[in-house]
Amino acid sequence: MDLPGPPAVGAALRVRAGHPAFGYPVAEEADRVLVARWYRRRHGVEVPPEWVMLLPFGPGTAVRLLLEAARPLSGPAVCVTPEWNGLARACRAAGVPVREVPLVHAPDQRENAFRLPLGGIAAVRPGMVLLSSPNNPTGLLWPAGDIRALARTAAPGLLVSDEVHGDLRHPDAGVPHPVAVAVTDGAPNVVTLNSVGKTFNLSGVPSCLALVPDPALRARLAEVMAGFGLWEGGLLGALVQRAALAEGEEWLAGLLTRLVTARESATAALGGAVLARPQASFLLWLDGSGLGTREELLTQRHVELASGFDFGPAGSGCLRLNFALPPDRLRTALTRLTCATTS
């Protein structure tokens, strides 16, 4: 996001920087409880604090290490495409066979333009299912019943639900955010990943959290981490996560209001190119056929969008706009995108 983050985080960092020692932090029970309270307040679900793993790296690394911890898989890993590409990339890096199954596109239904390909995933007999939920790049929330079906399809392998955009559910989304841990009742084969990175614009800080109901998997993940010299708790990650979750909620409410306003401007301006109306986050998935390629837009109109190719095979011909911008900058971007020639 090209927006300032919560002031409480900078304040907490300044205070901590005044302390003379930085050696060997460990995960604190109070931080697991803070996460559990966040889930109760924001998502109405009871998460036992012992399920919370506080990880000193980003969600992409968490996926990679989960793949290590879950080996051997009984079948290929399945990623639903388009996705932010970190999921399929982690599988390839781990040498795990991966199948990218495209979302089902129903262009006539603007509200539910994309659906999860439940049949296509089951047909692959996956050893693990990796889901971006809400989906990056479309900003769509998946129905609770579909997430339950995926958890059953993946069993006894894992359903990894990457929910790093989930706390950015739009207040007018009209449906609850189906948090996997809630809708699957804490099934032992469902792992949720989340972080304060997207929610509070803190992605430069190596930190995320995993909700892991299965104690054996928690132990295995901790062992894999130890093999890389990593352990739960990290000075910087713990500090910013604590400040954001404990003191950032008012800031988040303001942000969500701004995102809804920005979404409305962007969808109105880009009209027929909009492939899905986002229910969460700050991303707009666009049909590039009437707009041009990423390179053309960058060089001729000086607006940088992400190329659909980055999101897997199903992204071909598409573009992704990030609308988390100050209003004047968003207006400029939309004007440049919609005018016939370079200004």
Residue 244 CA, chain-centre distance (Å), reads 17
Which of 74, 62, 289 is CA-nearest to residue 194?
62
Task: Kindly state the greatest CA–CA separation across the chain.
Answer: 61
Q: Nearest distance from residue 79's CB to ligand PLP, in Å?
A: 11
Residue 280 CA, chain-centre distance (Å), reads 10
Q: Nearest approach, Cβ of 343 to ligand PLP (angstroms)?
A: 29
CA distance 258 to 280: 12
Residues that bind ligand PLP (CB under 6 A): 58-60, 84, 86, 132, 136, 162, 164-165, 195, 197, 203
Token pair of 168 as six digits: 């950015």
**Measured from the CB atom, is 98 or 301 closer to ligand PLP?**
98
DSSP 8-class letter at 290: G
Cβ contact 237:205 at 8 Å: yes
Residue 242 or 301: the one with the smaller Cβ distance to ligand PLP is 242
| Distance from C-alpha of 196 to C-alpha of 245, rounded to nearest angstrom | 8
Residues in the chain: 343
Tell the smallest beta-carbon distance from residue 158 to ligand PLP (Å): 16
Q: In what order do the strands lie in the sheet with 283-287?
A: 283-287, 318-322, 306-307
User: Rounded to 5 degrees, what angle do the CA atoms 260, 85, 227 make?
Assistant: 115
Separation CA 278–CA 260 (nearest Å): 9
Question: How far, rounded to the nearest angstrom, does the alpha carbon of residue 297 sit from its chain's CA centroid?
Answer: 26
CB nearer to ligand PLP: give 60 or 178. 60
Tell me which DSSP letter residue 44 carries: -
For the bound state, the minimum distance from the C-beta of residue 206 to ligand PLP, rounded and expressed in Å, comes to: 8
**Rounded least distance, CB 290 to ligand PLP, Å:** 26
d(CA 274, CA 267): 6
Shortest separation between residue 87's beta carbon and ligand PLP, angstroms:
8
Residue 70's nearest CA partner among 261, 293, 225, 221 is 221
Least distance between ligand PLP and beta carbon 19 (Å): 26
What's the min distance (Å) between Cβ of 272 and ligand PLP? 26
